[in-house]
Chains A and B, each alone.
Chain A
Amino acid sequence: QGQLVESGGGVVQPGESLRLSCAASGFTFSTFGMHWVRQAPGKGLEWVAVLSFDGSNKYYADSVKGRFTISRDNSRNTLYLQMNSLTAEDTAVYYCAKGRTSSGYYTYFDYWGQGTLVTVSP
């Protein structure tokens, strides 16, 4: 049974940076594409970014493009999200999620973490 555990959330000021981590276990992490999804307070789920199994192919939502970077360390079974130039609109619970394909495309998410809260506030 796969498990994903996010960490790294917290309270930051506008313009600051934060790096989220997602530790994976219970499946062969290095063979699946991985995603970040967020949910702002009172809002729905918003997909953020995808990364292929080997880190070679990544894609971002327009709302975070140029500010966020998704990466992974397959030797550590860990997914990351580097978030720069944060604004209040980035305040959300951030979830990592596992895809069913190596590319991360054309896939639903079969495992999710419980999320980590990021609050951007002056």
Chain B
Amino acid sequence: EIVLTQSPGTLSLSPGERATLSCRASQSVSSSYLAWYQRKPGQAPRLLIYAASSRATGIPDTFSGGGSGTDFTLTIARLEPEDFAVYYCQHYGSSSWTFGQGTRVEIK
């Protein structure tokens, strides 16, 4: 089973700053099968990025994804107040759907 490790656990930043979140896989994965989600308290998780770098419908271009092999990143170019949340990466495959433990982006 592929294990995803996200870092850092918590990111303390101010609005307007750039956020870079990391997701490392225990073995090489196809970038076609890596997604990122945002979750806010009391809300449904929201798909941000799929296939490592494709933005989901309605996601602003301040969100971008990249990486390949075992190392993937989610970048938020300029943090808006509504972007402070927990972010999860996910690998999806033939019979495996695993998530990282999450990175909390909090207001500094």
Contact = CB atoms under 8 A, between A and B. Distances in A.
Contacts of A115: 44
Nearest to B102: A44
Interface residues of B, number: 23
B44 A108 contact: no
Contacts of B94: 105-106
A107 B93 CA distance: 7
Looking at A50, A109, A113, the one whose CB has the most chain B CB atoms below 10 A away is A109
Nearest to A96: B44
A95 B44 contact: yes
Nearest to B88: A45
B51 to A, nearest CB: 8
A108 B101 contact: no
A61 to B, nearest CB: 9
B92 A107 contact: yes
Nearest to B54: A108
B50 interface: yes
A105 B95 contact: yes
Chain A contact surface mostly = strand
Interface residues of A, number: 22
A113 B44 contact: yes
A59 B95 CA distance: 8
Nearest to B43: A114
A113 B42 CA distance: 10
A46 interface: yes
Given A45-B88, A108-B35, A114 B93 contact: no
Given A108-B47, A108-B50, A113-B44, A45 B99 contact: yes
B46 interface: yes
Interface of A: 4, 35, 37, 44-47, 50, 59, 95, 97, 105-115
Interface of B: 33, 35, 37, 42-47, 50, 56, 88, 90, 92-95, 97-102
